[in-house]
């Protein structure tokens, strides 16, 4: 392939945003050849999205900054082309499948690029139909975006760039907004389209294991603006490039390392499908058998009980259909389920954020049905997915103090409580900073602190780690774990299987308005029918255990998690 | 939870099947016809035509309930204010004075004033049904293209399409933010004093503005990447081709405009019609 001319070619390229003090990309040399499938990985802020923007032309055309060196597409310097010209070669599918859905209906969104090129209507209708078929959306042409799932919206996004017969597909974090099962389908689709139409594919993503579910030719690792590795997946995993950079390896690879297996290229570790299990079997088994029995977790009294909870926005469409559960003090519970299954509504019902809920809620044995939103917030705090939706003051102290001020607490009391909450969240030193100076993860903590200031006994978090890389994910989750250890009961709505496995002992699986499973998280991720109903995937550890003839896969997974936690405590990444 | 800006209901009949361009043009032309004249006879003709069109469209009263209420309030205020500020304007424009009854020296009701005000109300009433038809019987996807096809720049009309597309998203953001802030203790109910309610609403607006700005950056990137605004013109996927019925409808409206102009020139010799001479 190297005899071909590269489709994309970076030569000693550096880029610095005008607003930034330092270059985001430094001395990039990279060739992407026609027909290749490349994965670009790197932690948040490493510059991987910036690299993507250099390929699709948002840099230099939309984001301004200073560039040195060269980026060529098909031998032509991108800065001498136009965004429009580039869009005929590079088709970009952005991270947020909803935000990039510009049209009022599926068909219009797919046709958007054609409309802009003044393609005649009859031809447009023909093309849209053909392309919609290839992504299996031809039965939804008249649907509006509100009627589609995240995965369907993403397929529309893909169709929207396919109409142009581009040479290169660029996917910016295609998995970020999808649940694991839909993510798997998306990776399949990307693979199929790339092969069938012989296109070059570039995927920017940090969820390595999920992308490696299908073959990729090369992985390019970006760290602090530089390319630190550029090789095939097997070699990359064998060399162990990723863990020191804070990028998570596939779970089974980590497990193998714990078992004392030396990862080599010929083990084919790139995917759980290609791995040579025969050669690792003995090591895995002997590691598993050598682990001591795990201590049982202990919990306190029942703190929250839901009895026959029902809710409907309108008469025909009941969203919660009789939900019962009981949570004990000190638990950390995952609420999982497909989009629209009712898990967010359930969380909102607990906090009285939706009205006309029938059924009873008991908090520490007392019925709380008659408490208003404001009163319930003193017992149960609700943290939204996007901290930008919660923060309304410009200074950190004021933001955290808001709930107390509105409840008329005295100045001294507010000061004490806010400082306490800020200390717990590791933000005390920053108490007089403006919120705008914080990173996403820090903002998340501010929103948690503003809830903690009210001293609730239960916290409910909606997707606490959505869109975070492994480093920030660990930071947020370890914090929540320490909060949990200090006595706060935590419920989390999540799609993240790793989060469930590692941090929650119990999962409530919601499907079609009912709880279909209430038991250990590990069990939920090793039982096919439950994982399927919640749009989760079975974890690769389950497969590893099975292929190594360990029948109690749940126990194996628990041992793995326990072992990993001990390692992390010794050496916090 | 219905958060769409216009509640479009799919129907098939003469009016719904017309192209959006036709509905917009008819609205504009018939509008010009009633704006030009003050002859109540012409207005009645236009009124009858537009009411017939409205019934043909089979738009239900439930769909227009809210709009009708607002329009009624507007017209009522207009009637009262016109009479309060200019009780003798009818006399001024028609040049005659037939007193009906006297309230005070200033507020004497004349036939001329009555005719003038009735004509004015008629103006609104004859054009509003056509406006409602354009808004309610045109598929939202077709609105932007319709306005672009009669000459409004597509970048401006596309802004309308984007509003229709993202309005529900912003409403949903608002609802989410609103309940989250209420959980923190913000009271938006009537229990709170008006001034602090305003202040509390502002507390919701700050995060709403920031999330919306994020959204805008994303949308404009998505549009740039697919070549929006690169050419002077664009085509529309959803534009309907003009049919015989479209030309017929536009023809009727052009005739109404001609009628309005002709009556003024040849019959009344002015834009006003005075039956009191």
Q: What does the pLDDT look like over A362-411, one tens digit per residue?
A: 999 999 999 888 888 889 999 988 888 888 888 999 999 999 998 889 99
User: Is A33 in contact with A2 (CB distance < 8 Å)?
Assistant: yes
User: Is A37 in contact with A204 (CB distance < 8 Å)?
Assistant: no
The structure tokens listed for A15 are 């880029």
B222 in A contact zone (CB under 8 Å): yes
Residues B119 and B155 placed together within one structural domain of the fold: no
Of A224-233, A340-349, A466-475, A546-555, where does mean pLDDT reach its minimum? A466-475
Query: Order of strands, edge to edge, in the sheet holding A90-93?
Result: A90-93, A168-172, A200-204, A37-41, A218-223, A226-231
Does residue B3 belong to any structural domain of this protein?
Answer: no
What's the mean per-residue pLDDT of chain B? Answer: 89
- Name the residue range of residue B154's domain: 148-225
The structure tokens listed for B244 are 């015989």
DSSP one-letter code for A90: E
A467 pLDDT higher than 80: no
B1 pLDDT higher than 70: no
User: Is B109 in contact with B84 (CB distance < 8 Å)?
Assistant: no
In terms of DSSP bridges, do strands A489-493 and A458-462 run parallel, antiparallel, or are they unpaired? Answer: parallel
Identify the residue with better confidence: A233 or B168.
A233
Closest residue in B to A112 (Cα–Cα): B226
Burial code (b: 16+ CB inside 10 Å, e: under 16) for B29-59 equals bbbbbbeebbbbebbebbbebbeebbeebeb
Does residue B10 belong to any structural domain of this protein?
Answer: no
Are A112 and B210 a contacting pair at CB < 8 A?
no
Share of chain B above pLDDT 70, in %: 96
Closest residue in A to B10 (Cα–Cα): A142
Does residue B133 belong to any structural domain of this protein?
Answer: yes
B191 in A contact zone (CB under 8 Å): no
Contact residues, chain B, for A56 at CB < 8 Å = 225
Instruction: Note the pLDDT tens digit of each residue in A295-309.
Output: 887 888 999 999 999
Q: Where are the alpha helices (DSSP H) in chain B?
A: 20-36, 40-57, 61-85, 89-94, 111-137, 140-149, 154-183, 194-225, 244-262
How many domains, in total, are found in chain B? 2
pTM of the model: 0.87
Could you give the ipTM of this predicted complex? Answer: 0.83
- In DSSP terms, which residues pair with A459 in a beta bridge? A381, A490
CA atoms of A273 and A277, how far apart (whole Å): 10
Q: Which residue has the tokens 């607006």?
A: B205
A156 in B contact zone (CB under 8 Å): no
Average pLDDT over residues A312-333: 90
Residues B75 and B159 placed together within one structural domain of the fold: no
Residues B74 and B180 placed together within one structural domain of the fold: no
Q: How confident is the model at residue A509 (pLDDT cuts 50, 70, 90)?
A: very high
What's the mean per-residue pLDDT of chain A? Answer: 91
Residues A402, A403, A406: CA angle, nearest 5 degrees: 85
Residues B46 and B131 placed together within one structural domain of the fold: yes
CA atoms of A334 and A553, how far apart (whole Å): 20
CA atoms of B109 and B96, how far apart (whole Å): 13
With left for phi above 0 and alpha for psi between -120 and 50, is residue A271 left, alpha or beta? beta
Does residue B188 belong to any structural domain of this protein?
Answer: yes
Q: Give the minimum alpha-carbon distance from B103 to chain A in angstroms, rounded to a whole number.
A: 54
Residues B216 and B103 placed together within one structural domain of the fold: no
Residues B262 and B131 placed together within one structural domain of the fold: yes
Cα radius of gyration rounded to whole Å, chain A = 25
User: Is A107 in contact with A133 (CB distance < 8 Å)?
Assistant: no
Contact residues, chain B, for A160 at CB < 8 Å = 226
Closest residue in A to B139 (Cα–Cα): A104
Under DSSP, is residue B239 helix (H, G, I), strand (E, B) or coil? coil
Give the pLDDT confidence score for residue B2 in this predicted structure. 46
A319: number of Cβ within 10 Å: 19
Does residue B96 belong to any structural domain of this protein?
Answer: yes
Q: Give the minimum alpha-carbon distance from B61 to chain A in angstroms, rounded to a whole number.
A: 21
Q: Give the minimum alpha-carbon distance from B134 to chain A in angstroms, rounded to a whole number.
A: 18
DSSP one-letter code for B18: S
A3 pLDDT higher than 60: no
CA atoms of A89 and A76, how far apart (whole Å): 12
Does residue B208 belong to any structural domain of this protein?
Answer: yes
Closest residue in A to B181 (Cα–Cα): A390
Residues B113 and B76 placed together within one structural domain of the fold: yes
Give the pLDDT confidence score for residue A150 in this predicted structure. 87
Residues B55 and B123 placed together within one structural domain of the fold: yes
Does residue B143 belong to any structural domain of this protein?
Answer: no
Number of A/B CB contacts below 8 angstroms equals: 157
- In DSSP terms, which residues pair with B216 in a beta bridge? none
A21 pLDDT higher than 90: no
For residue B186, what are the contacts with CB-CB under 8 A and spacing of at least 6?
A406, B200, B203, B204
Under DSSP, is residue A279 helix (H, G, I), strand (E, B) or coil? helix
Does residue B201 belong to any structural domain of this protein?
Answer: yes
Q: How confident is the model at residue A86 (pLDDT cuts 50, 70, 90)?
A: very high
Are A102 and B177 a contacting pair at CB < 8 A?
no
Residues B221 and B107 placed together within one structural domain of the fold: no
The structure tokens listed for A270 are 């790139």
Give the pLDDT confidence score for residue A209 in this predicted structure. 92
Are B180 and A382 a contacting pair at CB < 8 A?
yes
Residues B134 and B24 placed together within one structural domain of the fold: yes
Residues B43 and B126 placed together within one structural domain of the fold: yes
Residues B206 and B87 placed together within one structural domain of the fold: no
Burial code (b: 16+ CB inside 10 Å, e: under 16) for B216-235 equals eebbebbbbbbbbebeeebb
B4 pLDDT higher than 90: no
């Amino acid at each position: 392939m190297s005899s071909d001319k590269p489709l994309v070619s970076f030569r000693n390229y550096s880029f610095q945003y005008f607003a930034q003090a330092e270059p985001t990309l430094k001395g990039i040399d990279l060739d992407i050849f026609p027909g290749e499938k490349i994965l670009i990985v790197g932690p948040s802020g490493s510059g991987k999205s910036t690299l993507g923007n250099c390929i699709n032309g948002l840099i230099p055309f939309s984001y301004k900054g200073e560039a040195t060196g060269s980026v060529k597409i098909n031998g032509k310097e991108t800065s001498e082309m136009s965004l429009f010209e580039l869009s005929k070669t590079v088709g970009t599918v952005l991270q947020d499948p909803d935000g990039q859905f510009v049209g009022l209906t599926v068909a219009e969104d797919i046709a958007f690029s054609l409309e802009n090129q003044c393609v005649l209507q009859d031809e447009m209708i023909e093309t849209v139909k053909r392309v919609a078929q290839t992504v299996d959306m031809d039965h939804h042409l008249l649907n509006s975006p509100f009627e589609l799932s995240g995965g369907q919206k993403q397929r529309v996004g893909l169709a929207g760039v396919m109409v142009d017969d581009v040479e290169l597909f660029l996917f910016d974090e295609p998995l970020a907004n999808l649940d694991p099962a839909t993510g798997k389908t998306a990776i399949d689709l990307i693979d199929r389209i790339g092969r069938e139409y012989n296109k070059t594919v570039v995927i920017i993503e940090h969820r390595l294991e999920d992308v490696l579910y299908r073959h990729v030719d090369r992985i390019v690792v970006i760290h602090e603006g530089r390319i630190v590795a550029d090789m095939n997946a097997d070699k990359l995993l064998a060399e162990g490039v990723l863990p020191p950079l804070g990028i998570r390896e596939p779970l089974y690879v980590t497990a193998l390392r714990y078992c004392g297996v030396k990862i080599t290229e010929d083990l084919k570790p790139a995917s759980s499908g290609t791995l040579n299990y025969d050669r690792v079997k003995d090591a895995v088994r002997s590691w598993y058998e050598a682990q001591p029995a795990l201590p049982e977790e202990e919990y306190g009294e029942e703190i929250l009980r839901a009895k026959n909870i029902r809710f409907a926005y309108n008469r025909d469409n009941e969203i919660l259909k009789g939900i019962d559960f009981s949570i004990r003090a000190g638990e950390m519970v995952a609420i999982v389920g497909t989009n629209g299954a009712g898990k967010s509504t359930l969380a909102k019902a607990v906090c009285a954020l939706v009205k006309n809920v029938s059924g009873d809620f008991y908090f520490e044995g007392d019925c709380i049905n008659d408490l208003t939103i404001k009163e319930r917030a003193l017992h149960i705090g609700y943290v939204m997915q996007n901290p930008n939706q919660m923060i309304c003051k410009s200074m950190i102290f004021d933001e955290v103090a808001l709930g107390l001020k509105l409840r008329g607490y005295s100045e001294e009391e507010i000061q004490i409580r806010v400082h306490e909450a800020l200390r717990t969240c590791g933000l005390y030193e920053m108490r007089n900073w403006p919120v705008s100076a914080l990173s996403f993860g820090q903002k998340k903590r501010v929103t948690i602190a503003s809830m903690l200031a009210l001293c609730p006994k239960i916290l409910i978090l909606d997707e606490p780690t959505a869109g975070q890389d492994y480093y920030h994910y660990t930071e947020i989750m370890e914090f929540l774990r320490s909060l949990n250890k200090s006595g706060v009961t935590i419920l989390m709505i999540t799609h993240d299987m790793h989060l469930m496995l590692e941090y929650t002992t119990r999962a409530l699986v919601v499907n079609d308005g009912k709880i279909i499973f209430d038991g250990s998280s590990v069990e939920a991720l090793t039982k096919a029918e439950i994982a399927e109903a919640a749009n989760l995937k079975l974890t690769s550890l389950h497969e590893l255990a099975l292929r190594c003839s360990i029948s109690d896969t749940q126990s194996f997974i628990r041992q793995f998690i326990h072992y990993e936690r001990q390692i992390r405590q010794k050496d916090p990444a | 939870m219905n958060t769409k800006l216009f509640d479009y209901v799919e129907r098939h009949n003469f009016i719904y099947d017309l192209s959006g361009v036709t509905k917009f043009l008819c609205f504009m032309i018939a509008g010009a016809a009633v704006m030009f004249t003050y002859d109540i006879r012409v207005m009645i003709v236009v009124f009858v035509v537009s009411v017939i069109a409205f019934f043909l469209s089979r738009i239900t009263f439930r769909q227009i309930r809210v709009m009708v209420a607002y329009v009624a309030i507007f017209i009522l205020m207009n009637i009262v204010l016109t009479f309060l500020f200019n009780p003798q304007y009818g006399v001024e424009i028609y040049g005659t004075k037939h007193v009906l009854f006297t309230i005070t020296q200033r507020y004497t009701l004349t036939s001329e004033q009555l005719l003038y005000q009735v004509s004015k109300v008629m103006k609104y009433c004859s054009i509003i049904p056509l406006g409602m038809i354009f808004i309610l019987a045109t598929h939202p996807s077709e609105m932007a293209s319709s306005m672009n096809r009669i000459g409004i720049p597509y970048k401006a009309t596309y802004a309308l399409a984007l509003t229709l597309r993202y309005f529900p998203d912003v409403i949903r953001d608002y609802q989410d933010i609103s309940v989250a802030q209420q959980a923190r203790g913000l009271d938006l109910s009537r229990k709170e004093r008006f001034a602090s309610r305003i202040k509390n609403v502002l507390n919701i607006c700050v995060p709403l503005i920031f999330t919306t700005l994020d959204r805008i950056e994303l949308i404009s990137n998505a549009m740039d990447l697919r070549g929006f605004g690169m050419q002077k013109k664009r085509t529309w996927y959803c534009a309907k081709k003009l049919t015989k019925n479209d030309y017929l409808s536009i023809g009727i409206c052009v005739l109404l405009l001609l009628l309005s102009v002709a009556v003024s020139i040849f019959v009344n010799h002015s834009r006003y019609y005075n039956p009191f001479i």
